[in-house]
Amino acid sequence: DAGITQSPRHKVTETGTPVTLRCHQTENHRYMYWYRQDPGHGLRLIHYSYGVKDTDKGEVSDGYSVSRSKTEDFLLTLESATSSQTSVYFCAISGRQGGNEQFFGPGTRLTVL
């Protein structure tokens, strides 16, 4: 998985609980992304980062926040989880050699009860 790890890999939580997902890379890529994957919707971008402390919203950012204090770590936070946020979350990285290719992590399956 191109030096990308995600933690946790699985999580079950209750509505209203804060949740933080972590993406860690060892490849020194500049860009990092958080996607969610749902049946019938493909992969939808939540937030992305183009450098340390530089982030921007994607198409489905409501209810999510992110932080990137180091090149290697990109955190996704659900401030108050809702059942509609039950999904599989993927982190991706790109840009080390100036290319477009995005490399994806193994994913985190989140269930909000």
| Closest to other proteins by CB, 65 or 103 | 103
Site residues for other proteins per CB under 8 A: 1, 4, 30-31, 33, 40-45, 48, 50, 58-59, 90, 92, 94-95, 98-107
| Rounded distance between C-alpha atoms, residue 33 and residue 12, angstroms | 22
| Closest to other proteins by CB, 12 or 50 | 50
Burial class (CB within 10 angstroms; exposed 0-12, middle 13-18, buried 19+) of 28? exposed
Calculate the CA 98 to chain-centre distance.
21
Least gap, CB of 69 to other proteins (angstroms): 20
| Closest to other proteins by CB, 14 or 101 | 101
Least gap, CB of 98 to other proteins (angstroms): 6
Least gap, CB of 78 to other proteins (angstroms): 20
Cβ atoms of 111 and 13 closer than 8 Å: yes
Give just the sign of the alpha carbon dihedral 57, 59, 61, 65.
negative
